[in-house]
């Protein structure tokens, strides 16, 4: 079971029972006023418990007037200039409650205490490179082993191929030609930003800093492409991934409460951001 991606006007949404939500992924500002009514109608029809939107900050007041709550921001998301805000409407009060808030706060505090820790060079037994179509079978297999569920079908070779041909660059950590860790850069060329995402490491290779090595390689490649803003949506309960981004100089920007179905449960997610051309 996976959620559906479709167009409303010129805007893109993802919705379905899998995440029990609507996600306004990409907004055409011309659609905004009519779009909000359509999102409400769809949520009511399907009994979804959350709508979340990623939109220019100039729409924040309008969304507040429509009972959306501010959850996070991504500075300089649009062309390195205007901020994006993530505004959410909770249609079930239970979904708005972060039952793990104390632990989530501790994750962020711990991660921030590690900011800008010295990064070491990649150990000689590993190599980091961009993945290509010949790697897809290994990539799908690693993602299957890592995630019981995921908001996008990254365990599907056809999906991986489609995204490689579109706007996603996958990075692999290899040991003797075997992929042992993965990540991806999902590029929005139109607004010069990139989501650093889909991090996964085989259990026997965790704790070796592979995600940090992958992130540094990703940043180098994105800088070379002229991309200005990098961000991530990290599991709020994951000490490891939040520490990776804090160590690499990312700023904490907020939390999306009970937002994403990953590894079998709806989890809260943290936003981290970095201007990779300036920092």
Tell me the pLDDT of the chain averaged across its residues: 94
Total structural domains in the chain? 2
Q: CA 153, CA 163: separation in Å to the nearest integer?
A: 11
Is the per-residue pLDDT at 201 higher than 80?
Answer: yes
Q: CA 31, CA 13: separation in Å to the nearest integer?
A: 12
How confident is the model at residue 263, as a pLDDT?
74
Statement to judge: residues 220 and 262 lie in one domain: yes
Statement to judge: residues 147 and 269 lie in one domain: yes
Statement to judge: residues 137 and 232 lie in one domain: yes
Which two structure tokens, joined as six digits, stand for 268? 């809260």
Statement to judge: residues 239 and 256 lie in one domain: yes
How confident is the model at residue 108, as a pLDDT?
98
Statement to judge: residues 153 and 233 lie in one domain: yes
How confident is the model at residue 279, as a pLDDT?
55
Is the per-residue pLDDT at 166 higher than 80?
Answer: yes
Statement to judge: residues 50 and 168 lie in one domain: no
Q: CA 84, CA 150: separation in Å to the nearest integer?
A: 24
Statement to judge: residues 225 and 263 lie in one domain: yes
Statement to judge: residues 59 and 161 lie in one domain: no
CB-CB neighbours of 35 under 10 Å: 21
Q: Report the SS3 class of residue 112.
A: helix
Which range of residues forms the domain containing residue 176? Answer: 101-275
Instruction: State the pLDDT confidence band at 264, using cuts at 50, 70 and 90.
Output: confident
Nearest to 77 by CA among 242, 214, 231: 231
Statement to judge: residues 258 and 225 lie in one domain: yes
Query: Residue 188 is part of a domain; what is its CATH number?
Result: 3.40.630.30
pTM of the full structure: 0.92
């Amino acid at each position: 079971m996976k959620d559906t991606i479709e167009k409303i006007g010129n805007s893109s949404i993802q919705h379905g029972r899998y995440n029990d939500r609507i996600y306004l992924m990409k907004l055409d500002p011309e659609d905004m006023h009519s779009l909000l009514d359509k999102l409400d109608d769809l949520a009511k029809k399907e009994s979804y418990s959350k709508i979340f939107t990623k939109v220019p900050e100039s729409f924040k007041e309008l969304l507040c007037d429509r009972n959306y709550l501010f959850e996070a921001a991504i500075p300089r998301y649009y062309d390195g200039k205007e901020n994006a805000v993530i505004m959410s409407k909770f249609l079930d009060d239970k979904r708005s409650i972060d039952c793990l808030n104390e632990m989530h706060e501790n994750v962020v505090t711990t991660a921030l205490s590690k900011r800008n820790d010295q990064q070491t060079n990649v150990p000689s037994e590993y190599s980091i490179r961009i993945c290509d179509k010949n790697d897809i079978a290994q990539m799908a297999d690693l993602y299957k082993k890592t995630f019981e569920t995921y908001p996008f079908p990254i365990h599907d070779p056809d999906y991986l191929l489609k995204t490689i041909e579109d706007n996603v660059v996958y990075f692999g950590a290899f040991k003797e030609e075997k992929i042992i860790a993965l990540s991806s850069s999902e590029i929005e060329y139109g607004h010069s930003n990139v989501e650093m995402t889909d991090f996964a490491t085989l259990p026997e290779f965790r704790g070796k800093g592979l995600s940090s090595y992958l992130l540094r390689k990703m940043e180098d490649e994105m800088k070379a492409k002229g991309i200005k803003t990098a961000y991530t949506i990290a599991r709020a309960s994951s000490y490891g991934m939040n520490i990776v981004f804090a160590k690499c100089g990312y700023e904490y920007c907020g939390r999306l409460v009970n937002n994403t179905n990953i590894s079998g449960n709806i989890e809260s997610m943290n936003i981290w951001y970095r201007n990779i051309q300036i920092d």
